[in-house]
Chains A and B, each alone.
Chain A
Amino acid sequence: MKVFVDSGRCQGHGLCNMSAPETFDLDDDGYARVPASEVPDDGGLRTRVRAAVDGCPERALSIEG
């Protein structure tokens, strides 16, 4: 499972970072970054990443696979 952030849409609400900090990092201005797009099948992480993707107010996150 891979996750992507559309930096043109991200407005820096930071909700994804609150849900899954292992996957979603914030840059100095607070916009989301995904240092490693591959999300490991690690306990509840994928579930939390999916929740973050569904919950993004700007629909800036997407999942592949």
Chain B
Amino acid sequence: MSTRLGLGNEIRTRGMLLAGNGLQKLFALAGDPDARLLGVKPAADPYPLYEKLRARGPLSQNRMGFYLTPTHELVSAMLRDQRLGTTSSAALDGVRWQRHPEDEQLVHPVEHSLLTMNPPEHTRLRKVVAPWFTPRALRDRTDRVEQTVTEFLDEIGDGEFDLVRDFAIRVPVRVICDLFGISDDHRDAFSRWGTVLAGTLDGIRTIRERRAVRDTLVEMTAFFDNLVEHRRTHPGTDDVVTGLVRARPDGAALNRRDLVALAGLLLGAGFETTVNLISNGVTALLANPDAKRLLIEEPDRAADITEEVLRFDPPVQVTGRLTHEPVEYGGTRIPANRLIVLFLGGANRDPAVFAEPTRFDADRPNNREHLAFSSGIHYCLGAGLARIEGEVALRELFRRYPHLRAAGTPLRREGRTIRGLRSMPMHTGVPRNVLARR
């Protein structure tokens, strides 16, 4: 019986995937900028497409009935509008990763967590984890981030390396493992899980992805179930999982699903975004010699440079909100239960807010007005930690290797939501006078 159910489900899913992909592909062929932004094959460079969308006006509607905006004013206002709520892409496109009835026991760190919750559940759970991310808690972590970065740079030594594999991914994975009080021995598994889940943030597009998501959730759920059980019997001193196990918001312990989802979200969000902040930062600095020189000559400016990286090329390009009730923006009435697609990457290049938005400029007076970390109640919990990691990683990398250079073709990650590099072959660089003497 369950096999037949599974098969029927599979066929239906295949049909939906084909139909959805087919439509998007058709729109993309017709040159529709939003189809190329939201379609199956994401554009390598989405920024010109945001400008095409902007030229249509602050708020447009696409052929699927979604509303879209790339403007800073609307994205910022909508993210802070309590009449709009979050929703997971899965709830919208209807393609589920569940294949068997027992899959209901699996926990998805996005669909079942804070990220897609609305108040009051969101408020209750966010308060539980907030203490690990206050400025004071983060100040205590800065030294450890610096040690971590130095350790990995020592391991890279001199010569060729992959910036993503050997550095950009390792730093945030170690930082988040420290927060969990676990070793980073499992980093390859974490990185594999992160890639699958981040790649499907914008929906499952193929049968292969659907299988990969389910397999990942089987592994991840087992890992976190075990970790939570372990912390119940062997509590740590200040790790976040012990904190989650002990938490009694409103007098009651968190249930298993909330616990596992929160732990999974902290792990995944902890490195899947920061890895791209680092790789996008290195990409921007190599393409902008003035900014690179500034960083090398004045390492204290690393915070400004990190902020400009977040504005110029944010790791999360797009998010969405669902209208809980009819709303009106700029004279357009949007009915209840409609999806609004908010292009954070477009808002960050809005000429109404940022002068010469396509220019990387660390001296920009208002670069902190970017929306890379979203806004409103879902403002990135780990923003402070990400800032420290980005700042220390970029500063120390270029301090150690001022002649850092590309040594091969970088590969972009797939997916429409997350923007960053999958692989970046680099050479640590050798000063020219040393080369001449050889």
Binding site for A on B (CB under 8 A): 76, 79-80, 126, 130-131, 134-137, 366, 368-369, 374-377, 379, 383-384
Pairwise interchain contact B136-A28, C-beta atoms closer than 8 A: yes
Residues of A within 8 Å of B136, CB to CB, are 28-30
- How distant is the Cα of A59 from the Cα of B135 in the complex, in angstroms? 19
Known: A12-B134, A18-B368. 19 other contacts (CB 8 A): A11-B126, A11-B130, A12-B130, A12-B135, A13-B383, A13-B384, A14-B384, A15-B368, A29-B131, A29-B136, A30-B134, A51-B366, A51-B369, A57-B80, A57-B374, A57-B377, A57-B379, A58-B376, A58-B379
Residues of B within 8 Å of A59, CB to CB, are 80
- How distant is the Cα of A12 from the Cα of B321 in the complex, in angstroms? 23
Chain B CB within 8 A of A37 CB:
no
Binding site for B on A (CB under 8 A): 11-15, 18-19, 26, 28-31, 51, 55, 57-59
Minimal Cβ-Cβ distance residue in B for A15: B368
- How distant is the Cα of A28 from the Cα of B138 in the complex, in angstroms? 11
The total of Cβ contacts below 8 Å across the A-B interface reads 42
Residues of A within 8 Å of B384, CB to CB, are 13-14
Residues of A within 8 Å of B369, CB to CB, are 51, 55
Pairwise interchain contact B368-A57, C-beta atoms closer than 8 A: no
The listed residue with most A CB atoms (<10 A of its CB), out of B76, B79, B134, B374, is: B134
Pairwise interchain contact A26-B135, C-beta atoms closer than 8 A: yes
Tell which of B76, B80, B379 touches A13, judged by Cβ atoms closer than 8 Å: B379
Pairwise interchain contact B377-A58, C-beta atoms closer than 8 A: yes
- How distant is the Cα of A29 from the Cα of B376 in the complex, in angstroms? 20
* CB proximity of B301 to chain A, nearest CB, Å: 15
Pairwise interchain contact A29-B368, C-beta atoms closer than 8 A: no
Which 10 A-B residue pairings sit nearest by Cβ, starting from the closest? A30-B134, A30-B135, A57-B379, A57-B375, A29-B134, A12-B134, A57-B376, A14-B135, A28-B136, A30-B136
- How distant is the Cα of A31 from the Cα of B137 in the complex, in angstroms? 12
Pairwise interchain contact B366-A11, C-beta atoms closer than 8 A: no
Residues of A within 8 Å of B376, CB to CB, are 57-58
Minimal Cβ-Cβ distance residue in B for A27: B136
- How distant is the Cα of A43 from the Cα of B134 in the complex, in angstroms? 31
* CB proximity of B70 to chain A, nearest CB, Å: 19
Tell which of A12, A19, A30, A31 touches B368, judged by Cβ atoms closer than 8 Å: A19
* CB proximity of A36 to chain B, nearest CB, Å: 21
Minimal Cβ-Cβ distance residue in B for A29: B134
15 contacts between A and B (CB under 8 A): A11-B126, A11-B130, A12-B135, A13-B383, A15-B368, A30-B136, A31-B134, A51-B369, A55-B368, A55-B375, A57-B79, A57-B377, A57-B379, A58-B379, A59-B80
Residues of A within 8 Å of B134, CB to CB, are 12, 29-31
The listed residue with most B CB atoms (<10 A of its CB), out of A19, A29, A57, is: A57
- How distant is the Cα of A5 from the Cα of B136 in the complex, in angstroms? 19
Residues of A within 8 Å of B79, CB to CB, are 57
Minimal Cβ-Cβ distance residue in A for B127: A11
- How distant is the Cα of A26 from the Cα of B135 in the complex, in angstroms? 8
- How distant is the Cα of A31 from the Cα of B80 in the complex, in angstroms? 19
- How distant is the Cα of A19 from the Cα of B367 in the complex, in angstroms? 10
- How distant is the Cα of A31 from the Cα of B376 in the complex, in angstroms? 16
- How distant is the Cα of A57 from the Cα of B377 in the complex, in angstroms? 7
Minimal Cβ-Cβ distance residue in B for A26: B135
Minimal Cβ-Cβ distance residue in B for A14: B135
Residues of A within 8 Å of B383, CB to CB, are 13
